[in-house]
Amino acid sequence: MEIGHFVWLRTHSARYNLSSSGMIPINPGEVGRLAGEPRDDALGIIGDAYGAGDSGLMLVHGTQEGNFLAVAALRSKVESAAVVVPEYEPIRVLPSFLGLRSLVVGDIFHFPAKSILIISNPNNPTGLFLDGKRLGELEVELERRGSFAVVDSIFVDFIDRSPRLRFHNMVFTTSTSKFYTMEGLKVGWAIGDPEIIKDMSGIADLVSPGPMDVEAKYAAALVGNREAVRARNLNIIEGNRRIMLRIADELRDSVEVEYVGDMPIAFMKPRCGLSGMEVAQELLKRGVMVVPGEYFGVSQGIRVGLGSVNNNIAEAGLAVIKEFIEECASRHL
């Protein structure tokens, strides 16, 4: 199979690349300085940071592997899977790849009985976020309908300073790919009901058994210094976000912008009669790379990255986006 989102990223380039949803990578040497003396209780550090309590916890090679293992472990317990758009393409295509009937529902709470709800929280690309209260409400509905949820939480640390990923009938996945973007190394983890995590571990033993000791120590160093990483990230995002929000205000009649908290991405929907793909292709001609909404299951909008480039590149790229939207909107009048 082919993931169009990744094909787009691999086959295009631009002077101002605002297509990434991650951060400027942290150098492993910097991680080593954060870590201080090595610690052997990596799972304990991660579990404490995410409020896992007595939930199951396992290391995975990345969030997408965690999502894959979770859906594979749960598919015999359900009749279908449900997704909501806009949503990250690998999440949308995963259930059908694993042989499940996949439904697009209009709201997160509209999933059918005996199904797996698969979502990103915060949402990629909009940043829409279910807090602990809403997750508690979702937990009640999942149990009532005999359903489960796989929650890709890779952006959670951008919005929630103290996430508590401990709910029944849910599996939460995340990794060092976004908030903790690290140069040349990635590791993830999954938190959920112990029996589900046990089944996931069994599947992992078939395709990617450990050890992951080195990765675990790096992950523990990053997670154990979450506030230092947060300060670093905000130092990058803040200036870029300010420029993006100023443009959104100046062009408020010509573009709708969805942006939440301290996220490293924004979803911009120009009101000029063009699809997301058409906007993205026009911007490529002008030296700016973004991700079109079609790769999130919608026909309009572009995702713009705010965390993977320095202020000079972001400012120049966003200026091109502003100029294009102004021209496009004036033609559409």
Residue-wise pLDDT tens digits, 34-53 = 666 656 688 999 999 999 98
- Tell me, yes or no, whether 130 lies in a domain: yes
Query: Is there a single domain that holds both residue 186 and residue 254?
Result: no
Amino acid 30: pLDDT: 79
- Tell me, yes or no, whether 168 lies in a domain: yes
Query: Is there a single domain that holds both residue 80 and residue 196?
Result: yes
Provide the CATH number for the domain around residue 298: 3.90.1150.10
Query: Is there a single domain that holds both residue 81 and residue 15?
Result: no
Residue-wise pLDDT tens digits, 163-219 = 999 999 999 999 999 999 988 889 999 999 999 999 999 999 999 888 888 888 888
- Tell me, yes or no, whether 26 lies in a domain: no
Provide the CATH number for the domain around residue 129: 3.40.640.10
Buried residues in 72-109 as b, exposed as e (16+ CB within 10 A): bbbbeebebbbbbebbbbbbbbbbeeeebebbeeeebe
Query: Is there a single domain that holds both residue 187 and residue 246?
Result: no
- Tell me, yes or no, whether 30 lies in a domain: no
Query: Is there a single domain that holds both residue 201 and residue 254?
Result: no
Q: What are phi and psi of 103, to 5 degrees?
A: -120, 140
Chosen domain end from 224, 256, 283: 224
Query: Is there a single domain that holds both residue 67 and residue 147?
Result: yes
Return d(Cα 291, Cα 76) in angstroms, integer.
34
Peptide bond just before 292 cis, omega within 30 deg? no
- Tell me, yes or no, whether 31 lies in a domain: no
Structure tokens at 197: 């995590």
Amino acid 50: pLDDT: 96
Peptide bond just before 194 cis, omega within 30 deg? no
What sign results for the dihedral spanned by CA atoms 230, 236, 237, 239? positive
Amino acid 13: pLDDT: 97
Query: Is there a single domain that holds both residue 104 and residue 219?
Result: yes
Chosen domain end from 209, 224, 239: 224
CA angle 252/254/255 to nearest 5° reads 70
Helices (runs of H) and strands (runs of E) counted in the chain:
12, 13
Chain centre to alpha carbon of residue 91: 10
Q: Which of 290, 295, 277 is nearest to 4 (CA)?
A: 295
Return d(Cα 120, Cα 128) in angstroms, integer.
9
In sequence order, what are the residues at sequence separation of 6 or more whose Cβ sits closer than 8 angstroms to the Cβ of residue 95?
A: 71, 75, 80, 81, 83, 101, 102, 116, 118
Chosen domain end from 200, 224, 248: 224
Query: Is there a single domain that holds both residue 61 and residue 196?
Result: yes
Number of folded domains in the chain?
2
Amino acid 39: pLDDT: 62
Q: Strand 291-292 relative to strand 148-152: parallel, antiparallel, unpaired? A: unpaired
Q: Which of 99, 312, 266, 3 is nearest to 11 (CA)?
A: 3
Query: Is there a single domain that holds both residue 134 and residue 265?
Result: no
Return d(Cα 293, Cα 280) in angstroms, integer.
9
- Tell me, yes or no, whether 318 lies in a domain: yes
Return d(Cα 226, Cα 195) in angstroms, integer.
29
Query: Is there a single domain that holds both residue 55 and residue 179?
Result: yes
Expressed as residue numbers, the domain containing 257 is 4-21+227-332
Query: Is there a single domain that holds both residue 159 and residue 299?
Result: no
Amino acid 20: pLDDT: 98
Amino acid 38: pLDDT: 56
Query: Is there a single domain that holds both residue 205 and residue 101?
Result: yes
**For the chain, which residues score pLDDT lower than 70?**
34-40, 333
